């Protein structure tokens, strides 16, 4: 397949995944020799319609010179001529323009009198925006930058070790921000949570996510929003993020500890939230990273830390403006979000849950600057998302938060990712 045809398939992939009707294609694709019957069956087993379309478009690039025109013909034969026209238009789009650069030998001319250089030599080069960028060498002690920059030459042997984020937007990000709680819940207003929310909205938009925020939801309303997101077709996307800012508690669990409160004071187990997005309940996210960031207490214990050789930074001690998101251990009331039975919980994969604090301990939040965890997470993402993988950045977050204040806090995560995760920075 010619490069211009491959480029057209890549540019048109999002629309093809969203609109392609794959069912009428299987027989013609086999009859016209593009795919064998086992290949067709493998494509059909890819998952949802969107996943099948996505894999078909990817595999077409490997099917030889005749694949592109035959695919266009099959599209027209099956009443999908608009998609064929779209691909032809993409083929006709010119490649990125070349630039001319001026090469004037200066230093060399001083030392080479016998060499005659032209007054101006212009050669075509790639446009700056299209040229692979080689990151500067890191300072001593700094981690090496990522080797998988979008558009750069990479070691193909290592590609399977990194999640690919090619879509734009690369995924959905749902932020549930509970600030005001009902009087019946006996829970305090979470001053500073709006500061956290605005920071994360801005940060994940900059990281090419489609961000949706919901504020002050009861437990069942939170469940509805989470289920609505899980039921969406994510076939054309590469990732999904859920952020929850609320009061929290300890609760019975099998996989993921902790619970989150709705504004009505009813808890939702975190493992219930996570399992809405597992491979069984959300097929269009199978094999794709699902990231959860939880700013809430894991319990009521206050950690005073232990003595070390050097003092921690002089952050102010808990005072009037410093609050925790802790509430007592409770068992879910009635039939609201009871944990599933062990046998019905599939093994989680491609999931990471980042907690603001260790299970059982409080998570600190200030009215003016927001929570320690979100403030630090936002800062680390700003500085390092362009060069470091997520797990390395979460280590930075844990190290920075653990050094704060008289009371102590240590973020952590449950990691079931199979590959390294790098954000796609604008």
- Rounded Cα distance between 120 and 335, Å, is 79
3-state secondary structure of 370: strand
Which alpha helices (H) appear in 96-245, and where do they start and end? 107-111, 193-206, 219-231
State the number of CA atoms in the 13 A half-sphere of 308 facing the CB.
8
User: How crowded is residue 146: how many other Cβ atoms within 10 Å of its Cβ?
Assistant: 20
Token pair listed for 217: 């939801």
**3-state class of 288 per DSSP?**
coil
CB 373 within 8 A of CB 409: yes
C-alpha–C-alpha distance, residues 201 and 206, integer Å: 9
Cis omega (within 30 of 0) for bond into 106: no
Q: Are 56 and 22 in contact (CB under 8 A)?
A: yes
Alpha helix positions (H), 93-235: 107-111, 193-206, 219-231
The H or E element that residue 274 is part of is: helix 270-275
Q: Which residues are catalytic?
A: 247, 297
Distance, CA of 245 to CA of 213 (rounded, Å)? 11
């Amino acid at each position: 397949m010619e490069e211009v045809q491959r480029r057209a398939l890549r540019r048109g992939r999002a629309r093809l995944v969203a609109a392609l009707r794959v069912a009428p294609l299987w027989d013609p694709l086999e009859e016209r020799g593009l795919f064998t019957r086992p290949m067709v069956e493998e494509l059909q087993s890819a998952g949802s319609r969107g996943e099948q379309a996505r894999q078909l478009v990817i595999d077409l690039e490997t099917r030889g010179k005749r694949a592109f025109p035959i695919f266009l013909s099959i599209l027209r034969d099956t009443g999908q001529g608009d998609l064929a026209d779209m691909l032809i238009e993409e083929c006709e789009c010119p490649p990125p323009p070349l630039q001319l650069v001026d090469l004037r030998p200066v230093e060399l001319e001083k030392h080479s009198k016998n060499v005659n250089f032209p007054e101006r030599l212009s050669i075509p080069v790639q446009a700056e925006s299209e040229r692979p960028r080689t990151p500067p060498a890191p300072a001593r002690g700094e981690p090496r930058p990522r080797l998988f920059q979008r558009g750069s030459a990479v070691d193909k042997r290592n590609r399977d070790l990194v999640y690919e984020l090619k879509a734009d937007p690369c995924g959905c990000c749902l932020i549930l921000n509970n600030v005001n709680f009902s009087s019946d819940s006996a829970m305090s207003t979470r001053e500073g949570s709006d500061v956290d929310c605005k920071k994360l909205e801005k940060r994940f938009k900059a990281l090419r996510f489609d961000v949706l925020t919901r504020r002050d939801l009861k437990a069942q309303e939170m469940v509805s929003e989470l289920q609505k997101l899980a039921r969406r077709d994510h076939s054309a996307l590469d990732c999904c993020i859920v952020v929850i800012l609320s009061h929290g508690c300890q609760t019975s669990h099998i996989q993921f500890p902790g619970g989150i409160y709705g504004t009505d004071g009813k808890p939702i187990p975190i493992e219930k939230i996570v399992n809405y997005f597992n491979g069984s309940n959300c097929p269009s996210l199978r094999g794709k990273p699902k990231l959860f960031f939880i700013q809430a207490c894991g319990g009521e214990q206050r950690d005073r830390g232990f003595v070390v050789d050097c003092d921690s930074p002089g952050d102010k001690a808990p005072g009037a403006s410093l609050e925790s998101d802790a509430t007592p251990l409770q068992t879910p009331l009635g039939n609201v979000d009871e944990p599933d039975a062990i046998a019905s919980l599939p093994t989680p994969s491609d999931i990471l849950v980042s907690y603001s604090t260790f299970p059982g301990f409080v998570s600190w939040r200030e009215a003016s600057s927001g929570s320690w965890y979100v403030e630090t997470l936002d800062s680390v993402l700003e500085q390092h998302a362009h060069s470091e993988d997520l797990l390395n950045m979460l280590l930075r977050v844990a190290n920075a938060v653990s050094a704060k204040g008289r009371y102590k806090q240590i973020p952590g995560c449950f990691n079931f990712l199979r590959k390294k995760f790098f954000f796609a920075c604008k």
